[in-house]
Chain A
C-alpha cells in the first residue's frame, strides 16, 4: 500500500559536482503519523538526504513523492508549501528578534499598510504554543531564551507554516537531559495529533525510546528499514558501522602511580565579578582517568582554561610533575608534556583550511627531527604524518587534504592523533567525542584507555554521562564552580545519583571531596 506513506523517496542518488557520491539508490518511506529515525554515522548521507527532502539540494536521480504525488522540491519554500518543515541542528533563528518576530519572519502580519502588527504576531505565537503545548515566551528576544525554548520556537515555526511532516536534525545534541525528556513528550504529543516526524540522530538510546521505525544509512546507501521494537541496539550499531560497537567499554582496573596533575584551591572570578571556580582541588595520578561530570557552565570550561593557560586564576596552584603551570604560555605548558583535546575542535583544535599534515605537525614543527637547517625536512614530515594517519585511521585521500573537508569524526581523529602522539604525561580531554560518529567515538575512547593504562594521566571532561561513567576510573561532579562529589569507583554510580549532585540537590562533605587529592 503506497497510500499510507506520506513521504516516499525512491532510488535517490546524489552526486556532488566534485564527484562525491553522498547518496546512492537510497529509498526512504515514511508512514503517516510515525516517528521515523534516520540513522547513520557522520558522513553516512543523512543530512544530504534531508536537504533534498527540504529542497535545499536536488537529487541527481530518483524521485520524491509527498502524499503519493510526485513533487519537484526546488527550494525550501516549495517544501514548506508541501507541508514539510525542518528543524535544523544549528538554529535558524535571528537572535535580536523576539520569539514572535522569528515566528512570523517572511510572513509578517501588517497593520496600516506597511507596519509590523506586533500584537497579531504575539497572538499567533501564543495560539500555536498553546495548541501544541510548546510553551514559549513570545515577547522575549531569542538571544535571551534557553536552548530548549529555541528549539520549541523552531518547531513552532515549522508548524505555523503548515508543516505536517517535521524533520528534526539531531535535535537533542544541544539539549540537557531534562530538556530532551521534555522534547520527547512534545514529539509524542505531536505524533498523537497526526503529525509525522523524521528524527535524525546517532544516539541509540534516544532512537530506541522514541521512534517507531528506522532507516539506517551507511556510506550513502540504505541499510534497510526496521521496526524499532524488533531490533536491538547491538544490531543497529552493527548496521550503522558494519561491526559491533562495544557499548560497554572494557578496561582493566587502574593501577594509579604517582601524582601528575596537582591542582590546589584554584579560584577564578570572571571579569563581571562572578565566581566561576571556588577553591577547586584535585589530583590526577599516572595511569588513571579522572572524569569530570556536571551540567555545562558549572566551572568545567574555566578549569580547562586555567589548566591550559587560556586564562589566569585569582588564586591557587596548578602543578604538573611538581612544576608550576600558572602564567606559562601554551607552548611552555606543552613542553611540560600536557596535551589538550579542546572542546571546540574547529576553533582550538585545528586550522580548518590547512592540510592534515600541517595540522598534525603544528605542535612539533620546530623539532629537530622535522627540520633540516632553516627548512622543513619534508621527507621526515611525510613519514611522521603518514604513520599518524594510519595509526589513527583518519579517512582521507592523503595528508595534503584540507582538514576542513573531512567529516567531524575524522577531524577529531586528526586532533587526537596530534595530541596523543607528543609524549604526553597528562592528557586533558574536553568533550573528546562530542558530535562525532560511533566509529570514531569508539576509537578515541579505546585510545584514551590504552594511553592511561600505559601510564599517562588523563583528565576527562564530558557532558556525555555514559562516556564519563564508562571511561573514568574515578569521577568528580562539578556544580556551581565547586566539586560537589567525588566517587572513587564509577562502578557504583547510577545516572540518578549523579543527577542529584549535578543539579546541586546534594553535596558531599569537604572530607569526602578532599579524597580526590590523594593525600
Chain B
C-alpha cells in the first residue's frame, strides 16, 4: 500500500493538532455548561493576529502569545455578552464566527494598508521559516525505525496539545477549580448555594477555552499554513465540537475523536495525491466521521446496557 506510509501517520498528528486544541476548549467549556460554538471564529482571529504579531516582532514566541491573548480576550468578550448581558450563547458564538470571517479580512486590509502601503488579502508572505513555530526532533526517539519518523519532528504545539490532554484531566478532576467548573456546568444553583461564584467560574471556563482555541489558531497560521488567509480554519472549530461530543465530553475520548477526524482528513489528502478522482475523495472525511459515530453510538449503548444490568 502506498497510503499507509510513515508520512501518512505523521500527517495525522499534524492535521489533528489544531482540532485537538479546539477540542480541549470544547471539552472544558461543555464541562462548565458552556456551548462555545465561537471556537471557529476565535481561531480565525488568533490566526491572523498570531501571524501579524510574529511578523511585527520578528518572534514566533510573541506571535504565539499574541494569538493566545487575542483568543482569551475574544472569549472573555463573549462572556461579557453571554453571562453579563444575558445574550444567548449561540447568538454570541455565531457573531464571533462571522467576525472571524468578515472581520479578519476587514482588519487585515485596514492594518496592512497603514503599515505596508498596499492591502494584503493574506499574510502568507509574512511568515518565513524563522517565524514558524519550531519543530522538535526528539533525541533517541527519532532514531527508532518507523515510530521515530511518525512521532518525532512535530511542531512544539503538537506535543503541547497532547500534554494538555493530560493537564485537562488533572484540571477537571484533580483541582478545586475543575470541581467548581463541573459543578457550575451541572447544577449552577448547587454551586452558588455553597458560595461558589458561578459568574467567575464561567469566565474562567470560557477564558481557558479561548486560550486553547488561540493556540489552535496560531498553529494554523504560524505552522500549518505559514501565514494567514481568509477562512483558513475551515470548520476545525466545529469539528472540535463534534469531537467533544463524540468523545462523550471526556478528555481522552475526545482526543481519540479528534485523531479520527485527523485520520479522515489525512486519508482524503493522501488518496487524492495518488491521482484518484477528487469527487471520490471528497466524501472520505465524512464517511469516516459517520462510521466512527456509528461505532461510538453502538459502544455507548452497550456500556449503558451494562450499567443498567449492573444497577438492576
Q: Which residues of A contact B (CB under 8 A)?
A: 76-77, 80, 86, 88, 90-97, 101-102, 105-108, 110, 114-116, 144, 157, 161, 272-274
Contacts and interface: CB of A to CB of B under 8 A. Distances in A.
Contacts of B308: 272, 274
B191 A105 contact: yes
Nearest to B177: A114
Interface residues of B, number: 24
A91 B175 CA distance: 24
Contacts of B202: none
A272 B307 CA distance: 10
B194 A106 contact: yes
Interface of B: 170, 174-176, 179-180, 182-183, 186-187, 189-196, 304-305, 308-309, 311-312
A272 B309 CA distance: 8
Q: Interface of chain B, helix or strand or loop or mixed?
A: helix
A32 to B, nearest CB: 25
B305 A77 contact: no
A273 B312 CA distance: 11
A278 B170 CA distance: 48
Q: Which of B190, B191, B304, B305: most chain A CB closer than 10 A?
A: B190
Contact of B190 (A92, A110, A272, A273): A92
Nearest to A56: B193
A88 B175 CA distance: 27
Contacts of B189: 88, 90, 92
B187 A110 contact: no
A110 B182 contact: no
6 contacts: A88-B193, A94-B191, A105-B196, A106-B191, A110-B176, A161-B194
Contacts of A90: 189
Given A94-B187, A95-B186, A116-B174, A101 B179 contact: yes
Contacts of B195: 76-77, 80, 106-107
A76 B193 contact: yes
Contact of B196 (A106, A110, A115, A157): A106
Contacts of A144: 311
A22 to B, nearest CB: 20
Given A272-B305, A274-B312, A97 B179 contact: yes
Among all A-B residue pairs, the 6 with the closest Cβ atoms:
A106-B194, A108-B176, A92-B190, A77-B195, A94-B183, A272-B308
Given A97-B186, A108-B176, 9 more contacts: A80-B195, A86-B193, A93-B190, A95-B186, A96-B186, A106-B195, A114-B175, A114-B176, A144-B311
B175 A93 contact: no
Q: Which of A90, A110, A272: most chain B CB closer than 10 A?
A: A272
B312 A105 contact: no
A122 to B, nearest CB: 14
B174 A105 contact: no
A116 B180 CA distance: 11
B48 to A, nearest CB: 34
B136 to A, nearest CB: 28
B179 A105 contact: yes
Contacts of A88: 189, 193
A97 B183 CA distance: 8
Contacts of A91: 190
A97 B308 CA distance: 19
B176 to A, nearest CB: 4
Contacts of B194: 76, 80, 92, 105-107, 157, 161
Nearest to A91: B190
Contacts of A110: 176
A107 B176 CA distance: 9
Contacts of A105: 179-180, 183, 190-191, 194, 196
A210 B65 CA distance: 63
Contacts of B191: 94, 105-106
A76 B176 CA distance: 20
Contacts of A97: 179, 182-183, 186
Contact of A93 (B182, B187, B192, B304): B187
A92 B180 CA distance: 14
A95 B196 contact: no
A86 B190 CA distance: 12
Contact of B179 (A77, A116, A273): A116
Q: Which of B174, B192, B193, B304: most chain A CB closer than 10 A?
A: B193
A516 B186 CA distance: 46
Contacts of A93: 187, 190
Nearest to A94: B183
Nearest to A117: B176
A36 B194 CA distance: 24
Contacts of B175: 114-116
A327 to B, nearest CB: 26
A96 B179 contact: no
Contacts of A86: 193
A116 B183 CA distance: 14
Contacts of B186: 94-97
A56 to B, nearest CB: 9
B161 to A, nearest CB: 22
A508 to B, nearest CB: 26
